[in-house]
Every structure is written in structure tokens, then in C-alpha cells.
Structure 1
Amino acid sequence: MENRLKTSNLTNEGQIMTLKGYYKNLPDSTHPKTEFINEITRRTGVSFTAARNWVVYGMKPNNPKHISVLSEITGIPPEDLWSK
């Protein structure tokens, strides 16, 4: 039983696809939640853990500039970022 993948990313007709070539042609995966945390860390300079604590555990940053950055990234007004 032979399984041939038909995609436009495969090599030209007549060429043989290798396992390495197949792997390289797979699309990059995306992880929107991780990318969101990474964007926060990039823009605020805090650790991944600190940014994740803000988002996942509802901890509020002490630095008002960090709150402004979070508001800017999300479009959520600063007073609405955390439940009261």
C-alpha cells in the first residue's frame, strides 16, 4: 500500500519527496496563547512567568506602564482588564 500526498508544496513532477523534504514542507504550527504571552514579555520586559501570572491567574502588575501595555495589546480599557 502506497500513500502519496498530493499538495502544491511538494517537489516538481518526476522528483522524489524525501522524509526530510516532507517535514520541511509542513506548515509552521501556531500557538496563539503562547504568542500572546511572548508579545507581553517582549513589550514589558518581564519574564514569561510574570506575564502568564497576569493573564492566567489574574495578578495585576505593580507598574502602571505594564497595565498600559496590556490595554494597548488587547484593546481592553485598563479598568476592565481584571474582574473586580
Structure 2
Amino acid sequence: MTHQLRPPDEALWSSIAAGEEMAFGSLFDRYSRAVYNHAFRLTGSWSAAEDIAQAPTGGARPAGGRTATGYLDRYSG
């Protein structure tokens, strides 16, 4: 059995800055569940949490084209 080492976040950010799309995917995969869960706790809505978690990938955009941060501000207050 081989164990693959996970590159540290700093290395992934450097790779992203260099235009390596796979690095963004790795970083997104690493934190997407935490972002989704946090968004749900703030909004109380599974649908809103899904929209927020997808925003960094250019996926579903919240109504009105809000950014994920703007959407969190709207539903967490």
C-alpha cells in the first residue's frame, strides 16, 4: 500500500498562482466540506450552503450575482 503525501496549503497556493488548475481542485477538495458545513450553520439552508460552497468554482451563483461573502452576510444576520 502506498501513501501519497498531501502537499501543504502554501505549496498549493503557489501552484495556483502559477496557473496550475489541478492545485485549485486539490485545495477546493480539501476544504469544500468545511465551507459547506459552515455555510449551512450560518444560513440554516442546505440550498444556500450549496450555492455558497460552489461559488469559488464558478458553479451556481446566488440570486442577484452576489458573492459567497455577500450571500453569507445576507443570510447570517
Same fold per superposition (TM over 0.5): no
Please classify the TM superposition score into its range, dividing by the shorter chain length. Answer: 0.3 to 0.5
Q: More helix per residue: 1 or 2?
A: 2
Please, what TM-score do these two structures have when normalized by structure 1? 0.31
Please, what TM-score do these two structures have when normalized by structure 2? 0.33
